[in-house]
Amino acid sequence: MPSAPPPDWIRDHRRVVGARIRAARLYANLTQERLAEAAGMDRQSINRIENGHASPILDNLLRIARAIGADPGDLIKWPATGTGDDQ
């Protein structure tokens, strides 16, 4: 049985996380291909994460963060506009 689609607030936060990963990747002067190689992933997965179409599992988030030299917590922290607790 297929699962229900995630609520809007999760999809919105997924896009925020993807944008943070993309910004950190660009700051590290890496292409999606180079990040994928460094993280042991494929470029399509990086692209889907950066565009908010997929959520990285924890292991992949840690690999991505390490490859771009970012704190994983900084990539997934709640946006300044709210904590999501009321969603």
Set out the domains of the chain in order of their start, with CATH numbers: 8-76 (1.10.260.40)
Whose CA is closest to 69, among 38, 40, 42?
Answer: 38
Q: According to DSSP H, which parts of the chain are helical?
A: 8-27, 32-39, 43-50, 58-68, 72-76
Over residues 21-34, the mean pLDDT reads: 98
Q: Contact, 1 vs 19, CB < 8 A?
A: no
Residue 49 phi, psi (nearest 5): -65, -50
Please give the structure tokens belonging to residue 5. Answer: 């689609």
Q: What is the pLDDT of residue 78?
A: 86
% pLDDT > 70, the chain: 90
pLDDT in tens, 39-58: 999 999 999 999 999 999 99
